[in-house]
């Protein structure tokens, strides 16, 4: 089985989808001739033509609004927003139109739209290229929200998202594009070619939306994470020698509550890790759900390890980033309590 980077896996997913279905079209800033700012669409315009993979003006509002119209008329647009930080001008279209179309038309119309966005920090992008806005989307009824953490999942989940009849927000942790990242920024970068999750089937396959994966088996404490934080959590567990069970959520909506509850009831402890800011982050919803469903099994309070409540800094990026040291301290705190 070939090994791919996450960039290559995402490109392969769109290639497979476009080959199977002529209704799949790609649009976004610089995705055609240039192949995208991260090269995720490189070569697809040359292969499928300018009517199926095309560049747009610099207008996120216009990009998403046009794609919603395409979806309503039977196409399957897959939009690229260059950075998740740029999606705010299009937020009204996403919330008021895409997410509501099936409901407001009483099922007469659907919106088979995918919006891809590079998300998260770790690349010295500063406050306008490092945001993690997933909680804004999980608050909106009618959307699905996906955050892959590996090339294998990126391809399988993206094909499933493109085939889904309703709008999917597909958030790609940009720090994982070329390799898994354990949070130690001062160490050499690990390539995907050395990781088992870089083995990706060449052809068609899907990964079901709404199913989490247990990335590390354990019995002492449950760690809920997604995206880059999955590898940070695994590293923290190994460095502290704590028998932590690390769950990769993969999709935030729909959420695999059954896997979460089963793990927390087994371990009696729960830590939630994400890169986004603390207040009203998705971790707050996770903590509430765990408290609601596992209250009599919890031995200690739920702990959240997140970014700080401040714009993402440039000069102090690694003080903001929830690295293995902070996650390790939370693991020790949960065990000592």
Q: Rounded to an integer, what distance in angstroms lies between the CA atom of residue 19 and that of residue 51?
A: 14
Whether 184 is a known active-site residue: answer: no
User: Which residue out of 129, 152, 185, 293 is catalytically annotated?
Assistant: 129
Asked if 271 and 224 touch (Cβ cutoff 8 Å), the reply is: yes
Beta strand 114-119 pairing with 168-173: parallel
Count Cβ atoms within 10 A of the Cβ of residue 1 and give its class: 0-12 exposed, 13-18 middle, 19 or more buried: exposed
Cα distance between residue 170 and residue 122, in whole Å:
19
Euclidean distance between CA atoms 28 and 336, whole angstroms: 50
Other CB atoms within 10 Å distance of the CB of residue 237: 25
Per-residue b or e along 197-235, where b marks 16 or more CB atoms closer than 10 Å to that residue's CB: bbebeeeeebbebbebbebbebebbbbbbbbbbbbbbbb
Can you read off the two tokens belonging to residue 106? 């009483």
**Hey, which residues are catalytic here?**
129
């Amino acid at each position: 089985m070939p090994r791919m980077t996450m960039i290559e896996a995402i490109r392969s997913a769109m290639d497979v989808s476009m080959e199977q279905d002529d209704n799949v079209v790609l649009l976004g800033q610089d995705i055609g001739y240039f192949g995208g700012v991260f090269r995720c669409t490189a070569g697809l315009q040359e292969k499928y033509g300018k009517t199926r993979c095309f560049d747009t003006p610099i207008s996120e509002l216009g990009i998403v609004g046009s794609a919603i119209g395409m979806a309503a008329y039977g196409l399957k647009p897959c939009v690229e927003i260059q950075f998740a930080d740029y999606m705010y001008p299009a937020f009204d279209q996403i919330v008021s139109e895409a997410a509501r179309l099936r409901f407001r038309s009483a099922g007469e119309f659907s919106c088979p739209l995918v919006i891809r966005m590079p998300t998260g920090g770790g690349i010295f992008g500063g406050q306008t290229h490092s945001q993690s806005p997933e909680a804004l989307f999980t608050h909106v009824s009618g959307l699905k929200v996906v955050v892959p953490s590996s090339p294998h999942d990126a391809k399988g989940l993206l094909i499933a998202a493109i085939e889904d009849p309703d709008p999917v927000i597909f958030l790609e942790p940009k720090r994982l594009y070329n390799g898994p990242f354990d949070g130690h920024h001062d160490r050499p970068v690990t390539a995907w070619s050395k990781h088992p999750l870089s083995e990706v089937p060449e052809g068609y396959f899907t990964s079901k939306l709404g199913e989490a994966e247990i990335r590390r088996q354990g019995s002492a404490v449950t760690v809920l994470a997604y995206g880059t934080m999955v590898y940070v959590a695994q590293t923290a567990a190994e460095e502290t020698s704590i028998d932590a069970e690390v769950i990769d959520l993969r999709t935030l909506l729909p959420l695999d509550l059954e896997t979460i509850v089963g793990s927390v009831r087994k371990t009696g402890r729960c830590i939630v890790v994400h890169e986004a800011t603390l207040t009203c982050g998705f971790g707050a919803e996770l903590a509430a759900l765990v408290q609601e469903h596992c209250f009599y099994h919890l031995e200690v309070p739920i702990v959240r390890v997140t970014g700080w409540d401040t714009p993402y800094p440039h000069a102090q990026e690694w003080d903001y980033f929830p690295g293995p040291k902070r996650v390790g301290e939370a693991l020790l705190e949960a065990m000592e309590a």
